[in-house]
Amino acid sequence: MDRKYAILGDVHSNLEALNAVVEDARSRGVTDFVSVGDVVGYNASPSQCIKIMRDIGCVTVRGNHDHYCSYDESLDDFQPLAASVIAWTRRQLTEDDVKWLHDLPYQRSCGGFMLVHSTLDMPDRWGYVFDTLAAEANFSYQMTSLCFHGHTHVPMIYEKQREIMRVEPCKIKITFGPKFFINVGSVGQPRDSDPRSIYVLYCAKTKELDFIRVPYDIETAMEKNMKAGLPERLALRLAQGR
């Protein structure tokens, strides 16, 4: 069977967005779901999103929100808004949810490519990659041509020793030789001024990679956040895509 992968990033407890992306991916013949982490955090449906990820057999790595929602550690390093939602999320999770998050690895290989939430050089430090300098540090630890990551919520392609490429929805062909470090963007909280969900569709046989934008029911997601008592800013930013 030709493997076709849907690579998801930063779902962040947004059930409406996750459902829309899974439905879209299945309509395109996806055989495998994988995730670069942060299944929970920021939005109102953490347990429901974990259930979907498990039901679809999504191969997942640990994000920083996954980590802090499943470990009873200090939140002093988080900005107050994010810390308040992590504290709220901890109270919503079942013991089984916590164990699933707790057991997620920092990085893993799958389908001939690598997955990490932040960077391969220090995956437990949750560093952000916004430029080629930060990406170059990652390439020294990247053993495959392709590595997918998330964390910034902004889709991006970094090619070793090449300039940064900001991504609009497009299809590219992965050539043999160069290393690519690819940010898949965010399913549940996009931050590139486009409020639609985004994920990556990757065909292992053809080596083609496509960034797919998916509209979803943003109003319902916003209403859920407000009813849950989460900070209003988190609801508003969904409509703004930033």
Q: Where are the domains of the chain?
A: 4-240
Note the CATH number of domain 4-240.
Answer: 3.60.21.10
The whole-number pLDDT of residue 194 equals 96
What Cα–Cα distance (Å) separates residue 148 from each residue in 88, 95, 152, 191?
Answer: 29, 29, 12, 18
pTM of the model: 0.94
Number of residues that this document lists for the chain: 242
Low-confidence ranges of the chain (pLDDT < 50): none
The whole-number pLDDT of residue 189 equals 97
- Tokens describing residue 22: 């899974």
The whole-number pLDDT of residue 132 equals 85
CA distance 28 to 171: 14
The whole-number pLDDT of residue 40 equals 98
In eight-state DSSP terms, residue 93 is -
What Cα–Cα distance (Å) separates residue 211 from each residue in 32, 161, 234, 235?
Answer: 16, 22, 25, 25
The whole-number pLDDT of residue 221 equals 98
The whole-number pLDDT of residue 168 equals 65
